[in-house]
Amino acid sequence: MEAIGKTYDTERSAMRAIVKGGGLLSIWKRNMETIGLASVDQPISGDAAVMSVATDDGYNRTTGIWTGQRWVSVHRNGLMFGFGSPLMIWRV
């Protein structure tokens, strides 16, 4: 997040920023629209999404990249590969 001028000293402060921003989907939707990326219905390799999926932090929302076979995202215990339900997909 340092690249966009945001840093967090704790996971709690990061979660607070997500809640204050209206949730992960709201934040991503707003920012993807700002940079002109269109949402799509079906992913192709390399597309990004906000997904509903069980996560190790219990928030059950994450962002991920479609590999062509499943979604991959980074979590506190490493990479997570899975079949989460995308809430919104963007062609990047």
Q: In one letter, which amino acid is 65?
A: I
Q: What angle do CA 77, 82, 85 make, to 5 degrees?
A: 120
Query: First CA to last CA across the chain, in angstroms?
Result: 18
User: Cα(28)–Cα(48) distance, rounded to whole angstroms?
Assistant: 10
Q: What is the pTM of this model?
A: 0.80
Name the residue range of residue 35's domain.
2-90
Predicted pLDDT at 3 = 46
User: Cα(11)–Cα(32) distance, rounded to whole angstroms?
Assistant: 23
> In total, how many domains does the chain have?
1
Predicted pLDDT at 6 = 65
Model pLDDT for residues 12-65, shown as the tens digit of each residue: 888 888 888 898 899 999 999 999 998 999 999 999 999 998 877 788 888 999
